[in-house]
Amino acid sequence: MSNSAVVDATVAHATHTLKTTTPVSSVSASLARHGVPAGQSEPSDPILFVTSELADFVKVGGLGDVSAALPRALLNHYDMRVLMPAYREVLESIWPVHVIDHLPGLADIPACDLGRIELPEGLTVYVLICPELYDRPGSPYLDEQGVEWEDNAIRFARLSLAAAQMAMETPEGRFDDQGWHPDLLHLHDWQTGLAAGYLRWNNDDTPCVYTIHNLAYQGLYGPEYLSRLGIPDSAFTAQGLEFYDRLSFMKAGIIYSNHITTVSETYAREITTPAFGCGLEGLLSDCAREKRLSGIANGIDDSWDPQTDAYLACAFATNDWAGKRANTDHVRRMFRLAVSHGPVFAVVSRLVHQKGLDLTIAAAESIVRAGGQLVVIGCGEPAIENALRNLEARFPGAIGVHIGFSEREARCIFAGSDFLLMPSRFEPCGLSQMYAQRFGSLPIAHRTGGLADTIEDGVTGFLFDELSQQDFQKAIDRAFRIFGCTELFYAMRRAAMAIHYQWRLSVTPYRRLYHQLMVPAGVTTHSLRHVSI
């Protein structure tokens, strides 16, 4: 399937759904007549936020953080609720689960119960109770050996189908939890992409926003899954979810949703190019031309505050560099590093190809030779884990590596380090660099995606343009030089700590988008539901 075929298909799809011609500008007038000021919504508008991770229970990476923070940030404006699988961590949590409904299966997708949990700060979470799919050890995506669960297609089709069932009329009736029924679905990453498809295949036009956190993971499965997942054969075309003879959950999300967002403006542009589009650049370029693709940057929540973070060895504020140093000493002890006056470089990351750990590993010796130290926390690909373990063995006292996942250690490292290394090949937004800046650790990062948007070179961190060892090394050398000029170094720290990427800033564009998709009954036409923000 060529990309031009995808573009043609998308135009056809858009043309099919864009039958009426009411200009978007007339929406404001209609809304005003309905008593809704432009750009605002009724606080009670019900929205379902569908995700495969929620940091309150389980977090593999940034998606877990975003799922915990963004719905809470939007609660003042919407009756937003979350839907996720009832993994073992959910069932064993301290929060009681009340079973409220039963959702039928479809083809090989088993039936399940729907539970409800009330979390702090008024967040309601619906959980899919299906022990055969979700109650197991390991991570949401991988078993304990790091191998993908072989039934992931079924597991996440179950999640997607549940979201669609909660939104649409079914033979069993319409989902109604004491008057709550979603008017819009906000879907996240490939694990939820089929939800938009299940709606459209049932002639339901509930609006869907689809957020891409990482285009590299697409949920690709063989065509035999069409019947297993109850997907109509007619959807297996270039206009539908077919992608090089396989079915793509990611493409389903893009094709069948009303609007696609990704998590930074730069990444939204990058994914329309062959270098970053993972084969979907043609389709995504078309979405961009239709103003159906936009970038809304992530924020970070208020718990990332060095003055109040209970995990830190010592709370500290801007200019309290003795307090910051106490955290550095603590990190040195955590990793059994030698006492030193040199800088501490850090990595807090999933250990995957995306994150450019090969460049960091290659730079490690030069960091040590120049008097620096390196601490790493992460887990992921075994080859990267082993290469890091070897480094630690080669440079005892100068390099410390913890293979694993620990929120507490991650926070201590952000607080105790001087620099954070992020030579990511691509980075849709990146949260670690924002956390690091907040805690006075200056990121050294490739100028790509959200890193380019959130780091000011030479002011709040260091950016390098070409993804090469040489350019990365030059950025590290600059960091050493600045570290040697104490006043300059402290000025950069102050600048980094002063920026605060609050979720508040991301709330406004999301509200504008939701609002345009949820125009009041009587005003809504399908054409108005493809919007630009």
DSSP string, 449-507: HHHHHH--BTTTBEEESS-SHHHHHHHHHHHHHHHHSHHHHHHHHHHHHH---BHHHHH
User: Which 8-state DSSP code applies to residue 244?
Assistant: T
**Tokens of residue 37, six digits:** 């000021």
**Least separation, in Å, of the C-beta of 413 and ligand ADQ?**
9
How far is residue 450's CA from residue 247's CA, in Å, rounded to a whole number? 29
**Least separation, in Å, of the C-beta of 216 and ligand ADQ?**
8
Using an 8 Å Cβ cutoff, are 256 and 208 in contact?
A: yes
Decide whether 200 or 425 has the Cβ nearer to ligand ADQ: 425
Biggest CA–CA distance in the chain, Å, is 71
Using an 8 Å Cβ cutoff, are 99 and 113 in contact?
A: yes
Asked if 430 is part of the footprint of ligand ADQ (rule: CB under 6 A), the reply reads yes
How far is residue 486's CA from residue 204's CA, in Å, rounded to a whole number? 61
Residue nearest to ligand ADQ (CB): 61
Q: Which stretch binds ligand ADQ (CB under 6 A): 62-70, 119-127, 176-184, 381-389?
A: 62-70
Decide whether 372 or 443 has the Cβ nearer to ligand ADQ: 443
Using an 8 Å Cβ cutoff, are 109 and 157 in contact?
A: yes
Using an 8 Å Cβ cutoff, are 53 and 64 in contact?
A: yes
Restricting to residues 261-300, which ones interact with ligand ADQ according to CB under 6 A? 263, 298
Tell me which of 45, 53, 56, 65 binds ligand ADQ, using CB under 6 A: 65
Decide whether 253 or 428 has the Cβ nearer to ligand ADQ: 428
Q: Using alpha carbons only, give the angle 185, 73, 318 rounded to the nearest 5 degrees.
A: 145
> Among residues 436, 479, 491, which one has the least CA distance to residue 319?
491
Using only C-alpha atoms, what is the Rg of the chain?
24
**Least separation, in Å, of the C-beta of 354 and ligand ADQ?**
7
Asked if 139 is part of the footprint of ligand ADQ (rule: CB under 6 A), the reply reads no
- Residues in contact with ligand ADQ, shown as a per-residue x/- string from 349 to 378 under the rule CB under 6 A: xx--------------------------xx
Using an 8 Å Cβ cutoff, are 505 and 299 in contact?
A: yes
Asked if 445 is part of the footprint of ligand ADQ (rule: CB under 6 A), the reply reads no
Token pair 């390196």 in the structure block, residue: 374
Asked if 406 is part of the footprint of ligand ADQ (rule: CB under 6 A), the reply reads yes
Q: Residues in contact with ligand ADQ, total (CB under 6 A)? A: 27
Using an 8 Å Cβ cutoff, are 225 and 248 in contact?
A: no
Q: Which stretch binds ligand ADQ (CB under 6 A): 100-108, 274-282, 304-312, 342-350?
A: 342-350
Asked if 410 is part of the footprint of ligand ADQ (rule: CB under 6 A), the reply reads yes
Asked if 302 is part of the footprint of ligand ADQ (rule: CB under 6 A), the reply reads no
Helix (H) or strand (E) holding 385: helix 382-394
How far is residue 13's CA from residue 28's CA, in Å, rounded to a whole number? 26
**Least separation, in Å, of the C-beta of 417 and ligand ADQ?**
12
Decide whether 79 or 189 has the Cβ nearer to ligand ADQ: 189
Q: Which stretch binds ligand ADQ (CB under 6 A): 7-15, 113-121, 387-395, 405-413?
A: 405-413
Tell me which of 141, 201, 321, 405 binds ligand ADQ, using CB under 6 A: 405
DSSP string, 192-216: GTHHHHHHHHTT----EEEEES-TT
Decide whether 65 or 242 has the Cβ nearer to ligand ADQ: 65
Restricting to residues 93-112, which ones interact with ligand ADQ according to CB under 6 A? none
- Residues in contact with ligand ADQ, shown as a per-residue x/- string from 9 to 48 under the rule CB under 6 A: ----------------------------------------
How far is residue 127's CA from residue 51's CA, in Å, rounded to a whole number? 10
Is 59 known to sit in a ligand binding site? yes
How far is residue 440's CA from residue 433's CA, in Å, rounded to a whole number? 10
- Residues in contact with ligand ADQ, shown as a per-residue x/- string from 202 to 221 under the rule CB under 6 A: -----------xx-------
How far is residue 141's CA from residue 147's CA, in Å, rounded to a whole number? 8
Tell me which of 197, 207, 343, 428 binds ligand ADQ, using CB under 6 A: 428
Asked if 197 is part of the footprint of ligand ADQ (rule: CB under 6 A), the reply reads no
**Least separation, in Å, of the C-beta of 103 and ligand ADQ?**
28
How far is residue 187's CA from residue 197's CA, in Å, rounded to a whole number? 12
Q: Which stretch binds ligand ADQ (CB under 6 A): 169-177, 198-206, 338-346, 424-432?
A: 424-432
Q: Which stretch binds ligand ADQ (CB under 6 A): 19-27, 167-175, 283-291, 429-437?
A: 429-437
**Least separation, in Å, of the C-beta of 55 and ligand ADQ?**
8
> Among residues 427, 294, 277, 290, which one has the least CA distance to residue 349?
427
Using an 8 Å Cβ cutoff, are 367 and 345 in contact?
A: yes
Contact residues for ligand ADQ (CB under 6 A)? 61-63, 65-66, 213-214, 263, 298, 348-350, 377-379, 405-407, 410, 427-432, 435, 450
Residues annotated within a binding site for ADP-alpha-D-glucose: 59
